């Protein structure tokens, strides 16, 4: 898929996959393929759905390079060109990121997602050159993953607009918590240059889409096990029916509330300001939801924390209450 073709199909819901592991911490390949096929089957009939894999939620950082490559290859094989696949290719350095992006391109990924350089925070020019070099190294599209929590940095609208002018930098997974940036990105970035995706899920998507409907979709963890719930929110916004979208979000409130309860029990050691950071218990909840809905979740790898048996029981009751199971 060319970068131009990907831009046209980069919309709708974008489930960022979990990576199922065995109790021994090994890749559960069959589970990964099952999860991927579930999303491919849901997308039948022309639904706007893009699969995202080997991202933060996929615990790419906890997998070896070979395990990351296996995840990417297996997902592309199951997707079989039926739905676009975005694969995270991020490494701490530019050279290593290029090597992973080339691998992803070679096995048929449609777009390489690259988080802002982590460990050492670059200057503005260093950030620009990082993405320019990666984009020049491949013929597929490149997606900027604008996430301050995992990188300690944030690309503002001015630099994002400049990046959008790089030929095959075609999209952004935008995790900015700054509502002004949603408006400024919508107002200043030519949609012919870059597709805007909200990276923070259903709730923030509804808000960002209001700015000229320039945000074309959103990344979701809920969409992995309840894609119909996520897709209904997307369709309501597409219809410009914000009252319906709000009602659909309210239907998911029990799930979001129990997540909030689990978060509040656990202290974070992050020094990133609270507005810019993520509590990663959503990964523990999401993986448990995968198991409870008959898909494959399995445990998280350290240093991430799994839910307790009691919490899994509480989560089951919430999924039953909301009709997800």
- pLDDT digit string, tens, across residues 37-47: 999 999 999 99
CB neighbour list of residue 237: distance below 8 Å, 6 or more residues apart: 205, 206, 209, 213, 245
For the chain, the domain total comes to 1
Local structure of 220: helix, strand or coil? strand
Q: What is the pLDDT of residue 278?
A: 87
Q: What is the pLDDT of residue 231?
A: 98
Q: What is the pLDDT of residue 279?
A: 86
Instruction: Determine how β-strand 111-115 pairs with β-strand 141-146.
Output: parallel
Give the tokens for residue 120: 């050492």
Cα–Cα distances (Å) from 155 to 181, 272, 298, in that order, read 10, 16, 34
- Please indicate, yes or no, if residue 137 is contained in any of the structural domains: yes
Mean pLDDT for each 10-residue chunk of the chain (325 residues)? 96 98 96 98 97 97 97 98 98 97 98 96 97 98 96 96 97 95 96 97 95 96 98 97 96 97 93 90 97 98 96 98 96
Local structure of 21: helix, strand or coil? strand
- Please indicate, yes or no, if residue 299 is contained in any of the structural domains: no
Q: What is the pLDDT of residue 207?
A: 92
Question: Contact 64/99 with Cβ under 8 angstroms?
Answer: no
- Please indicate, yes or no, if residue 250 is contained in any of the structural domains: no
Q: What is the pLDDT of residue 300?
A: 97
CB neighbour list of residue 174: distance below 8 Å, 6 or more residues apart: 146, 181, 182, 185, 196, 197, 198, 199, 200, 208, 215
Helix (H) or strand (E) holding 184: helix 179-188
Give the tokens for residue 183: 């408006």
- State the helix-helix crossing angle for 253-264 and 309-321, rounded to 10 degrees: 160
**Minimal CA–CA distance to 195: which of 172, 211, 175?**
172
CATH of residue 50's domain is 3.20.20.70
- Please indicate, yes or no, if residue 291 is contained in any of the structural domains: no
Instruction: Domain of residue 214: give its range.
Output: 3-240
Give the tokens for residue 156: 């503002």
CA distance 298 to 289: 10
- Please indicate, yes or no, if residue 285 is contained in any of the structural domains: no
- Please indicate, yes or no, if residue 118 is contained in any of the structural domains: yes
- Please indicate, yes or no, if residue 88 is contained in any of the structural domains: yes
Residues annotated as part of the active site: 145, 173
pLDDT tens digits along 68-109: 999 999 999 999 999 999 999 999 999 999 999 999 999 999
- Please indicate, yes or no, if residue 293 is contained in any of the structural domains: no
Chain length of the chain = 325
Sign of CA dihedral 215, 220, 225, 230: negative
């Amino acid at each position: 898929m060319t970068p131009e073709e990907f831009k046209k199909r980069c919309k709708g819901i974008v489930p960022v996959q979990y990576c199922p592991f065995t109790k021994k911490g090994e890749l559960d390949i069959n589970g990964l393929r099952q999860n991927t096929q579930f999303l491919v089957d849901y997308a039948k009939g022309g639904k706007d759905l893009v699969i995202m894999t080997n991202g933060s939620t996929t615990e790419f950082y906890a997998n070896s390079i070979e395990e990351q490559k296996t995840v990417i290859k297996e997902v592309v094989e199951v997707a079989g060109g039926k739905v676009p696949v975005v694969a995270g290719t991020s490494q701490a350095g530019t050279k290593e990121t290029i090597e992973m992006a080339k691998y992803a391109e070679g096995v048929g990924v449609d777009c390489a997602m690259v988080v802002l350089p982590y460990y050492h925070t670059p200057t503005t020019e260093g950030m620009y050159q990082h993405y320019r070099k990666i984009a020049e190294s491949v013929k597929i599209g490149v997606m900027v993953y604008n996430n301050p929590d995992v990188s300690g940095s944030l690309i503002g609208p001015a630099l994002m607009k400049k990046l959008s002018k790089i030929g095959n930098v075609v999209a952004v997974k935008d995790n900015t918590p700054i509502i002004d940036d949603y408006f400024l990105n919508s107002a200043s970035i030519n949609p012919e240059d870059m597709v805007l995706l909200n990276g923070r899920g259903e709730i923030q998507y509804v808000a960002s889409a209001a700015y000229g409907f320039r945000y074309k979709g959103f990344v979701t963890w809920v969409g992995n096990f309840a894609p119909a719930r996520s897709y209904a929110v997307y369709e309501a916004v597409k219809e410009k029916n914000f009252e319906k979208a709000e009602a659909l979000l309210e239907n998911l409130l029990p799930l979001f509330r129990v997540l909030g309860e689990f978060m509040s029990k656990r202290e974070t050691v992050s020094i990133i300001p609270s507005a810019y950071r993520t509590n990663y218990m959503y990964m523990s909840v999401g993986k448990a939801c995968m198991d409870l809905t008959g898909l494959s979740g399995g445990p998280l790898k350290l240093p991430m924390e799994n839910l307790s048996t009691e919490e899994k029981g509480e989560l089951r009751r919430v999924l039953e209450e909301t009709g997800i199971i």
